[in-house]
């Protein structure tokens, strides 16, 4: 799967992209990520890509020209045109179902805004899939784009190691519950002991205990998941 990220702050992605899980996936050609600095498409001598809003008001608005032209050029540069995703608090809210849908795509273009957002004509012309990661406001779409990449790539076959599977995760299809508590050595840390059932080796009993723990935790913290 190929990701093209369009941002005014490409450096924000370097640390994230250098993590080993992602690098192994990149080395094995399962994932490809290109980060593009939208300032490259500015025709202004100071590389300006934003301007004051018509009608007045605080802050700056991202200009239509560099955004639309960067998307057009980047689309042309690839083999297949990608689905354009615009990260914005005005979008539909991201959840595991949306992630599963995005993971089906061959290519995604992730548009990261800053300031007071994009000129309305960006949305009118590109008709992007507008996505929000939650009801809170970030300073820009970059962190939201990393959230999308991080949750999408783990659904790509071969990206997670054999020992880790995305299939039985809390929010995977048909699995709407919270995870049971996990323990590892030591058995006793300052008097906090591992539940006896996990030490016995009775796998049927362990499975039953975990199902019950998972249900109780979900009922207590996220009863809304049980209603679905």
Residue 78 is encoded by which pair of tokens? 């690839």
Chain centroid offset of residue 82 CA: 16
- Residue tagged active-site, from 50, 89, 114, 142: 89
178 binds ligand JA8 (CB under 6 A): no
**Considering only 36-44, 68-76, 138-146, 219-227, which stretch makes contact with ligand JA8 by CB under 6 A?**
138-146
Residues 41-100 that bind ligand JA8 (CB under 6 A): 87-89
| Beta strand 2-7 pairing with 107-112 | parallel
Q: Supply φ then ψ for residue 108, to 5 degrees.
A: -125, 135
- Residue tagged active-site, from 37, 51, 100, 116: 116
Among 1, 144, 147, 178, binds ligand JA8 (CB under 6 A): 144
| Beta strand 192-193 pairing with 188-189 | antiparallel
- Residue tagged active-site, from 2, 154, 176, 210: 154
* Nearest CA-CA partner of 101 in 170, 155, 143: 155
Place of tokens 């990520």: 33
| Annotated catalytic residue 116 | yes
Work out how close the CB of 92 gets to ligand JA8 at its nearest, in angstroms, rounded to a whole number.
12
Work out how close the CB of 47 gets to ligand JA8 at its nearest, in angstroms, rounded to a whole number.
19
| Annotated catalytic residue 92 | no
141 binds ligand JA8 (CB under 6 A): yes
Work out how close the CB of 114 gets to ligand JA8 at its nearest, in angstroms, rounded to a whole number.
5
**Considering only 134-142, 155-163, 175-183, 185-193, which stretch makes contact with ligand JA8 by CB under 6 A?**
134-142
Q: What share of the chain is helix, strand, coil (3-state, %, to 5)?
A: 40, 20, 45
Sign of CA dihedral 89, 95, 98, 100: positive
| Beta strand 50-51 pairing with 61-62 | antiparallel
Among 37, 140, 170, 198, binds ligand JA8 (CB under 6 A): 140
**Per-residue x/- mask for ligand JA8, residues 109 to 128, rule CB under 6 A?**
----xx--------------
Work out how close the CB of 58 gets to ligand JA8 at its nearest, in angstroms, rounded to a whole number.
13
Task: Report the alpha-carbon distance of residue 52 to residue 198 in Å, rounded.
Answer: 62
| Annotated catalytic residue 157 | no
Half-sphere exposure of 37 (CA within 13 A, CB side): 10
SS3 189: strand
| Annotated catalytic residue 51 | no
Q: Hey, which residues are catalytic here? A: 89, 116, 154, 169
User: Which positions touch ligand JA8 (CB under 6 A)?
Assistant: 87-89, 113-114, 132-134, 136-138, 140-141, 144
């Amino acid at each position: 799967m190929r990701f093209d990220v369009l941002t005014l702050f490409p450096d924000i992605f370097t640390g994230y992209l250098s993590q080993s899980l992602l690098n192994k996936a990149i080395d094995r050609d399962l994932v490809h990520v290109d980060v593009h600095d939208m300032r490259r498409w500015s025709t202004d001598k100071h590389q300006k890509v934003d301007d004051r809003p018509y009608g007045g008001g605080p802050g700056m608005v991202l200009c239509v020209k560099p955004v639309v032209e960067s998307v057009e050029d980047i689309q042309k540069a690839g083999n297949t045109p990608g689905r354009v995703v615009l990260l914005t608090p005005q979008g539909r809210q991201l959840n595991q179902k949306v992630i599963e849908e995005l993971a089906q795509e061959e290519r995604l273009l992730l548009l990261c805004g800053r300031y007071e957002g994009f000129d309305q004509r960006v949305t009118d012309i590109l008709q992007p899939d507008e996505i929000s990661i939650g009801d809170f406001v970030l300073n820009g779409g970059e962190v939201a784009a990393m959230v999308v990449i991080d949750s999408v790539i783990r659904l790509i076959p071969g990206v997670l190691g054999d020992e880790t599977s995305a299939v039985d995760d809390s929010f995977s299809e048909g699995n709407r519950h919270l995870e049971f508590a996990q323990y590892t050595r030591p058995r006793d840390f300052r008097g906090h002991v591992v539940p006896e059932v996990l030490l016995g080796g009775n796998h049927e009993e362990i499975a039953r205990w975990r199902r019950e723990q998972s249900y109780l935790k979900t009922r207590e913290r996220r009863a809304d998941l049980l209603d679905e």
